[in-house]
Structure 1
Amino acid sequence: MKAIKFILNVIWLLFCGLWMALAYVLAGIICCVLVVTIPFGIASFRIAGFILWPFGRTTVERPDAGAASCIGNVIWFVFAGWWLALAHLVTSIPLFLSIIGAPFGWANLKMIPISLMPLGREIVPTDREWGAR
């Protein structure tokens, strides 16, 4: 099972993971330059790591996320989220044009909600039991 995840991650990295992760890193750098938005930059770097190597991991809502995460997600959506969601959408289109790329295109579309609302989410391995998340 680990070998399959590794192969999927390598294919993902080659076809779309690298430049999508770079987009998140760019968003994170821009957020860190503007000192007030450093928490957004940290979240962007965290999601970039997930986008770079997603298979075998997932995101779950943090139980301690509150109103600040909700407000932060609205601000994130306005300034960076919709750009990243659009990048996921555009990246998925050429992936859907091939048989091998179609599952990766679908995985790219599944990441749109994460790109729109990254705050209040935690990245966890998929091999952990549901109760431990």
Structure 2
Amino acid sequence: MSTLGNVIWIVFGGFFIFLEYLIGGLLLCLTIVGIPFGLQSIKLSLLALWPFGKRIEYMDYAPGCLSTLMNILWFFVGGIWITLTHLAFGLLFAITIIGLPFAKQHFKLMSLALTPFGRRIID
């Protein structure tokens, strides 16, 4: 069932979300300062391409202070806008019963887009 959901997701906009995250991540990786943020954007792109059947966990070994600082910087640099976009799409998809699985995936992406540092994607 998750494969069917992923195929429908890709056809109806998931591929464009993937490209946006991937291009943004690659552009951020051009600068030394932007490399950590670019890597997180690439992590978001991989989840945005194939979101069904994956979950997000906190890393047990994540450095607390550095991870928190990077999440604060991410929040103010662009994380809030990405989060609000996923919130808007999630609410839009939640209007219909057919769109509820896609709304759930946008809310999953929203939680990762808000604080990506110190989290990992589990298949």
Q: Same fold (TM over 0.5)?
A: yes
Q: How far off its partner does 1:57 sit?
A: 1.1
Q: RMSD of the TM alignment (CA)?
A: 1.7
| SS state at 2:67 partner | helix
1:55 aligns with 2:18: no
1:100 aligns with 2:98: yes
1:131 maps to none
Deviations 1:62-119 (A, max 9, x none): 1111211111011111112112112212333442344322321232123211101111
1:113 maps to 111
Give structure 1 regions of 4+ aligned residues with deviation exceeding 6 angstroms.
none
Indicate the percent of aligned positions where both proteins have the same amino acid: 34
1:28, 1:43 within 8 Å by CA — same for their partners in 2? Answer: yes
Once residues 91 and 59 of structure 2 are traced to their aligned partners in structure 1, the CA distance between those partners, rounded to angstroms, is: 31
Cα 1:57–1:110 change in 2 (3 A) is closer
1:68 aligns with 2:75: no
Once residues 115 and 14 of structure 2 are traced to their aligned partners in structure 1, the CA distance between those partners, rounded to angstroms, is: 19
Once residues 6 and 30 of structure 1 are traced to their aligned partners in structure 2, the CA distance between those partners, rounded to angstroms, is: 30
Q: How far off its partner does 1:30 sit?
A: 3.2
Amino acid at match of 1:82: I
User: Under a length normalisation based on structure 1, what TM-score does the superposition of the two structures give?
Assistant: 0.80
1:88, 1:108 within 8 Å by CA — same for their partners in 2? Answer: yes
Moved more, 116-125 or 20-29: 20-29
1:59, 1:122 within 8 Å by CA — same for their partners in 2? Answer: yes
Once residues 90 and 23 of structure 1 are traced to their aligned partners in structure 2, the CA distance between those partners, rounded to angstroms, is: 17
Q: How many residues are treated as equivalent by the alignment?
A: 122
